[in-house]
Amino acid sequence: MTDLHFLTIAEASAKIRAKTLSPVELTQAYMARIKALDGELNSHILVLEDQALAAAKQAEADIMAGGWKGPLHGIPIGLKDIYNTAGITTTGHSDLFKDHVPAEDAFTVKCLRDAGAIFTGKLSTWEFAIGGTSFDLPWPPARNPWDLSRDPSGSSSGSGAAVAAGLCTGAMGTDTGGSIRGPAAWCGIAGLKPTYGYLSRRGILPLSFSLDHAGPMCWTSEDCALMMQVLAQHDPLDAANANVAAADFTAGLGSGLKGLRVGVVRHFFETDLSTDAETIQALENALMVLRDMGASVGDVTLSPFEVYGDVGSLISRSEAFAFHQAWLRESPERYGAYGRQRLMAGAFIAAADYVNAQRQRAVLVAQVAEVMKTVDVLVFPTARCPAREIGEDSMASGFQPFFNRAFNVTGNPGLSICNGFSASGLPLSLQIGGRPFEDALVLKVGDALEKAMGTRGRRPAFAC
Amino acid sequence: MTDIPFEDRVKAASLNPKPEDVAKLQALVIDLDRSATQVRGPRSYAEEPLSAFRLTPAK
């Protein structure tokens, strides 16, 4: 029998619904795991043991009384610590916010709470989702469970590490420039950056208003679909939230990929940015599997990846500075060095350059839409290489490990899945992009690949 | 165009970074300056920013 802590949401939910697994038993299993492993993994800023066990007891009572609410009822979920939680600190992993106690839950937290999810803890992040892997903050940075000397990436670092190590069944992350998909890639899990506006951002500490996305991070694409089923609710108080009828994110799972048109953005990883050989070989293997499942596969051309990087950097740094400027001027010492430097840099962008970046962004959105008239999904690696040593400061050194920015700039959905393992045992990754609001199709492709390639049977040795 | 010393740009922005921040901050700003040059090319006036918005009439 699978250890309780390695059950997927789908598996645990089926047992809970059948009353063969108690949410209390499941939550206790995770609390024991956190106590045993998180001293080294550092995935949690705050463990919500008392609240989680109380909620689990309530869920158990409700379910035993015939009040099963759905697939997330009684499921332990971790929250990146930039999601507001009523009455519970939301620190942004920063000294500046270490005593910040919101009065209300973020909208997405409320969605999860109403669905019966159990919150196990507030998870590590890069400071305010931008600061990089830092050692000068009130809490240490999360580490990669596949190799504790490696970086889990960020900014949803604790979410990626905790899910991969079996410290929660699923987690919430956020993604402004790749912060869900990067840790998903390096920690070997599934992470969805939904279509911009599909999920509410209200009650999440902002980084960049027009690039921020909330999204699920789970062991499987199927679990991300189960979370999206609850999360995709219209929030009229979030200016960017689209008022669209939510898809059924699980309905298409398992129905095959015959006739799917796959566009490979080959120039990203062959011309634009050098990519390691194992990552490219794993991508070619996945393309063969897609062909075997009846998909047609061909190359497509977008703008060079650097264009997305330039546009994304100008917009995200400008918007982030707009939010942080008062604190940066009044109390810069309360930030870690990386966060302070990266946020201050936004002060030097001219208004005209910000506007022109938004004009170029409109061109890129239209270009991707045009290409996606000819294909149903886009694929390329999520990461150019497996996880790097912790402490290597990618941003300061100019090394960009990921191909994530494109879909933050255009708003298209992007899913990172585990695409096998390197010879050294580190996860490799694949990204699947779709048309706006076709997140369900992206999840369907991810689910099909995970099942066909059999990547979900291997967990980090540290966690076993 | 005269190059403005980085220290003067920092002062003009009313920022007070720690001395050990300055070199890294300057490197980040140089990178953003390079990004900015990539979006400054000639454009049609019809190319509007993505932040242009659409209002709907009151019901």
User: What pLDDT sits at residue B59?
Assistant: 75
Residue indicated by tokens 């992993």: A93
pLDDT at position A400, please? 86
A–B CB contacts, 8 A cutoff, strictly below? 97
∠ at Cα A214 (A211, A219), nearest 5°? 130
The full DSSP string for A304-334 is -HHHHHHHHHHHHHHHHHHHHHHHHHH-GGG
Give Cα A293 to chain centroid, integer Å.
Answer: 27
Q: Is the dihedral of CA A325, A329, A333, A337 positive or negative?
A: positive
Q: Respond yes or no on whether ipTM tops 0.85.
A: yes
| Local structure of residue A194 (DSSP, 8 states) | P
Name every chain A residue with its beta carbon within 8 A of the beta carbon of B17.
332, 340-341, 344
**Cβ-proximal residues to A260 (8 Å cutoff; 6+ apart), any chain:** A290, A293, A294, A295, A296, A376, A377, A445
Q: Which residues of A touch B39 (CB under 8 A)?
A: 310-311, 314, 353, 356-357, 359-360
Confidence (pLDDT) at A397: 58
Specify the pTM: 0.97
In terms of phi and psi (left: phi > 0; alpha: psi -120 to 50; beta: otherwise), the region of A460 is beta
Scanning the structure block, which residue is given the tokens 């994530």?
Answer: A404
d(CA A435, CA A376): 7
For the question of residue A394 being annotated catalytic, the response is no
Long-range interactions of A368-372: CB distance < 8 A, separation 24+: A368/A302, A368/A406, A368/A410, A368/A412, A369/A435, A371/A263, A371/A300, A371/A301, A371/A302, A372/A263, A372/A412, A372/A434, A372/A435
How far apart, in whole angstroms, are the C-alpha atoms of residue A184 and residue A152? Answer: 8
Query: Residues A435, A410: contact at Cβ < 8 Å?
Result: no
CA distance A394 to A377: 29
Q: Which residue in the list A179, A313, A316, A318 is annotated as catalytic?
A: A179
Minimal C-alpha gap between A296 and chain B (Å)? 33
Tell me how far apart the alpha carbons of residues B6 and B25 are, in angstroms, rounded to a whole number. 10
Do B20 and A340 make contact, defined as CB atoms within 8 angstroms? no
Contact A304, A344 (CB under 8 A): no
Q: Which of A224, A146, A194, A220 lies closest to A452 in space, CA to CA?
A: A220
Chain B partners within 8 Å of A332 (Cβ): 15-18
Low-confidence ranges of chain B (pLDDT < 50): none
Distance between CA B44 and CA B59 in Å, rounded? 35
Preferred mutation among A307, A344, A361, A364 to probe B, highest tally of B CBs within 10 A: A344
**pLDDT in the model for residue A387:** 97
Mind telling me how many Å the CA of B4 is from chain A's nearest CA? 12
From the candidates A94, A124, A153, A155, give the one annotated as an active-site residue. Answer: A155
Which among A315, A101, A72 is positioned nearest to A216, based on CA atoms? A72
Please tell me the predicted confidence (pLDDT) of residue B2: 74
A383 touches A402 (CB < 8 A): yes
Q: Is A155 one of the catalytic residues?
A: yes
Task: State residue B54's pLDDT score.
Answer: 81
Q: Tokens 């695409």 correspond to what residue?
A: A419
pLDDT at residue A395 in the model: 54
CB of A41 within 8 A of CB of A99? no
Mean pLDDT, each 10-residue run in order, chain A (464 residues): 89 98 98 98 98 98 98 98 98 98 98 98 97 94 97 97 98 98 98 98 98 98 98 96 93 96 98 97 98 98 97 98 98 96 97 97 97 98 96 66 96 98 98 98 98 97 95
pLDDT at A396: 52
Residues 6+ apart with CB under 8 A from B10: B17, B22, B25
Other residues' Cβ atoms within 10 Å of the Cβ of residue A327: 17
Give the C-alpha separation, A193 to A155, whole Å. Answer: 13
Give me the pLDDT at residue B51, please: 84
Cα–Cα nearest to A204, from A106, A89, A79, A110 = A106
